[in-house]
Amino acid sequence: MSTPTTRRSLREQAALSGAPAMAPAPAAPRRRGGVGRMLGDLALWIAAVAGVVCIVLVILAMTANITLIMFRTGSMSPTIPAGSVAVVQRVEAAQVQVGDVVTVDREGELPVTHRVTAIEPGASDAERVITMRGDANATDDPFPYPVTSVRTVLFSIPGIASVIVGMGDPWVLGGLTAGATVLVIWAFWPRSGSAASRRQDGVV
């Protein structure tokens, strides 16, 4: 019956034969980072997603006439409550239908966003005269609106208008820029122990 070979027996055989003993394999370097590393990576992903969203919005604004509007009042409640942000697309007046929620630009006044209740022909083929009413209002708006184009609401997100307004504050923008800079520097800063691990691997 043969004796099982062990590391000790191999070392004894090497010592008797004069051969150098086998050096134990270096332990693999431990990965560092922990919770801080995970939180940093998460913050980087969030910043990257936010950057992609901004790029997409710019592209849509330039190619598809899609922009954002904010609702300061509750005239469209409960469909679109105050503090909501809506994604709108500019279309020709001929495409508007009764029941659509549209934004009409008014010269010298703030735009109004209400639901279309009636449509009449205008002074030209491209013009329409539309009557609108807010969902929270009991009567139509005082005057109809002659328009050649409007911004129709595609969908809305409640409660984020204050966030977008806050993002436009110079102090907030400065803080976000500084935070993003710190994240990028932290992500690419050499980790401690990396040089030692390279030396252990034989890499200079």
Predicted confidence at residue 10, as pLDDT, reads 58
Predicted confidence at residue 66, as pLDDT, reads 86
**Residue ranges in the chain whose pLDDT is less than 70:** 1-34, 36, 40, 43-44, 47-48, 50-51, 53-54, 57, 61, 64, 162-180, 182-204
pTM of the model: 0.58
Residue 194 resides in a domain: no
Predicted confidence at residue 80, as pLDDT, reads 94
Residue 46 resides in a domain: no
How many independent structural domains does the chain possess? 1
Residue 29 resides in a domain: no
Residue 158 resides in a domain: yes
Burial of 129: CB neighbours in 10 Å, binned 0-12, 13-18, 19+: middle
Residue 152 resides in a domain: yes
Predicted confidence at residue 59, as pLDDT, reads 78
CATH number at 72 reads 2.10.109.10
Residue 117 resides in a domain: yes
Task: Quote the tokens at residue 175.
Answer: 């803080």
Residue 47 resides in a domain: no
Predicted confidence at residue 132, as pLDDT, reads 98
Domain of residue 152: give its range: 66-162
Predicted confidence at residue 166, as pLDDT, reads 56
Phi/psi of residue 160, nearest 5 degrees: -110, 5
Residue 45 resides in a domain: no
Q: pLDDT digit string (tens) for 31-55?
A: 545 676 777 677 667 766 766 766 7
